[in-house]
Amino acid sequence: MPGQQRGASRPDHAQPDHGQPGADGPVELLGDLDRPRAWMLLTGGVPQSHVDLDDPRHLELEYMRRLGHLVDLAAPAGTPLRVLHLGGGGLTLARYVAATRPGSRQLAAEADAEVARVVRQRLPLSQPGRRRTRDGRIVVRVADARAVLEQVPAGSFDVVVADAFAGAQTPAHLTSAEFTEAVARALAPSGLYAANIGDGPPLTHARGRVAAVPRYSGTRA
Alpha-carbon distance of 84 to 88, in angstroms, equals 10
- Whether the pLDDT of residue 128 is over 80: the answer is no
Q: Work out the angle between the directed axes of helices 92-100 and 62-73 (0-180°, nearest 10).
A: 40
- Whether the pLDDT of residue 210 is over 90: the answer is no
Q: What is the mean pLDDT of residues 125-142?
A: 71
Among the ranges given (64-73, 118-127, 161-170, 192-201), the one the predictor scored with the smallest mean pLDDT: 161-170
Q: What is the mean pLDDT of residues 178-202?
A: 92
CB 102 within 8 A of CB 134: yes
Alpha-carbon distance of 42 to 185, in angstroms, equals 32
DSSP string spanning the chain? Answer: -----TTEE--TTS--B--SEETTEEEEEEEETTSTTEEEEEETTEEEEEEESS-TT---SHHHHHHHHHHHHSSSTT---EEEEES-TT-HHHHHHHHHSTTEEEEEEE--HHHHHHHHHHS-SS-TT----S-EEEEEEES-HHHHHHHSPTT-EEEEEE---BTTB--GGGSSHHHHHHHHHHEEEEEEEEE-----TT-HHHHHHHHTS---TT-B-
Q: What is the mean pLDDT of residues 153-181?
A: 90
- Whether the pLDDT of residue 119 is over 80: the answer is yes
Query: Residue 212: what pLDDT?
Result: 82
Contacts of 37 (CB under 8 A, 6+ apart): 52, 53, 54
Q: Which residue has the higher pLDDT, 133 or 101?
A: 101
Q: Which residue has the higher pLDDT, 72 or 21?
A: 72
Query: Residue 52: what pLDDT?
Result: 98
Contacts of 208 (CB under 8 A, 6+ apart): 175
Query: Residue 63: what pLDDT?
Result: 94
CB 183 within 8 A of CB 149: yes
Q: What are phi and psi of 94, to 5 degrees?
A: -60, -40
Query: Residue 3: what pLDDT?
Result: 42
Q: Domains of the chain by range and CATH?
A: 56-211 (3.40.50.150)
Query: Residue 16: what pLDDT?
Result: 55
Q: What are phi and psi of 99, to 5 degrees?
A: -75, -35
Instruction: Encode pLDDT of 10-57 as tens digits.
Output: 444 345 555 566 676 899 999 999 999 999 999 988 899 999 999 999
pTM: 0.85
